[in-house]
Amino acid sequence: MLWLWALIYAIVIFQLSSLATTIYLHRAATHRALDLHPAIELAMRIELWLFTGIVTREWVAVHRKHHHHTDVLGDPHSPVLEGLWAILLANAWYYKRETRNPETLQRYARDIPQRWFDRWMLDRGGWGIALGAALTCGLMSLLGARPLAALAWGLSAYLLQGLLYIFANALINGACHAIGYRNFQNPATNLRWVAWLSAGEGLHNNHHQFPSSGKLSLHRSEVDPAWPVIRLLRRLSLARVRPLPRALAAPADPPAA
């Protein structure tokens, strides 16, 4: 049964990473659509550090540059420029390449603070990945696996959650700029099934129209899984949400064709 626990673990961690990415990295840190309580922000940052190795300043800078140069020269990961399959298969490489550009970080992430715990821990993505993998193997051991089995299933589960996360982000940056439907005339598209996988990020056309909105769904047929979580955080006084654009405040059905 260890394979089943490993599979469940990978899917749960993938979804937690997706929620932390869209709520903290994307809607809060990048677009300032909401303010999170410091404890929630730190918890999401640690989760991302352990299971993705993402550095906040780098992610914010790359994504802001993508908005500044959407599908034109300068876009770090455009299927229009590079080809859809290139982004689907190598999105992580395009992202990593852009993080090594000091001009991108300086121009697009100068407002992201670097505190002592960022410099000594959370900006060191490799340390987070190593610790996250070790914790995963330790969990498999607690579930009754012998040392070698715990190592094998732990690393397999950790690798699987990472691959799911990379693939989901490739779909957003690739497919959601190439196929799907549009509610608005901008370069991005919506794919409802990608939104289910990625905590709402597949509603990319809506996001590009209203980048500073904390909610991504527009019609009743569109589901933004992160929005109920954000509403719960707001009810608990753990988040403050910027007022929604009128078009997103009261979802309606799409007009008949």
Q: Which tens digit of pLDDT belongs to each residue from 186-240?
A: 999 999 999 999 999 999 999 999 999 999 999 989 999 999 999 999 999 999 9
Tens digits of residue pLDDT in 156-165: 999 999 999 9
Residue 225 maps to a domain = no
Is 208 among the domain residues? Answer: no
> With 70 as the cut, is the pLDDT of residue 251 above it?
no
pLDDT band at 2 (very low <50, low <70, confident <90, very high): confident
What mean pLDDT is predicted for residues 111-139? 93
Q: Number of structural domains, the chain?
A: 1
Does residue 211 lie within any of the structural domains?
A: no
- The neighbouring-strand residues paired with 252 are 219
Task: Answer positive or negative: Cα dihedral of 153, 159, 164, 165.
Answer: positive
pLDDT at residue 246 is higher than 90: no
Indicate the range of 99-108, 138-147, 199-208, 209-218 predicted with least confidence.
Answer: 138-147
pLDDT at residue 172 tops 60: yes
Q: Is the pLDDT of residue 50 over 70?
A: yes
User: Would 54 be classed as within a structural domain?
Assistant: yes
Mean pLDDT of 12-16: 98
So what's the pLDDT on residue 254? 52
Q: Give a yes or no: residue 200 inside a domain.
A: no
Q: Which of the four pLDDT bands, split at 50, 70 and 90, describes residue 256?
A: very low
Asked if residue 218 is part of any domain, the answer here is: no
Looking at residue 248, its pLDDT comes to: 73
* Residue 257: pLDDT over 50: no
Portion of the chain with pLDDT greater than 70, in percent: 96
Domain range holding 153? 2-170+236-241
Mean pLDDT of 39-68: 97
Instruction: Tell me: pLDDT of 247 over 90.
Output: no
Is residue 6 situated within a structural domain? yes
Least confident of 21-25, 46-50, 134-138, 140-144: 140-144
The answer to whether position 179 is within a domain reads: no
- For the entire predicted model, the pTM comes to 0.92
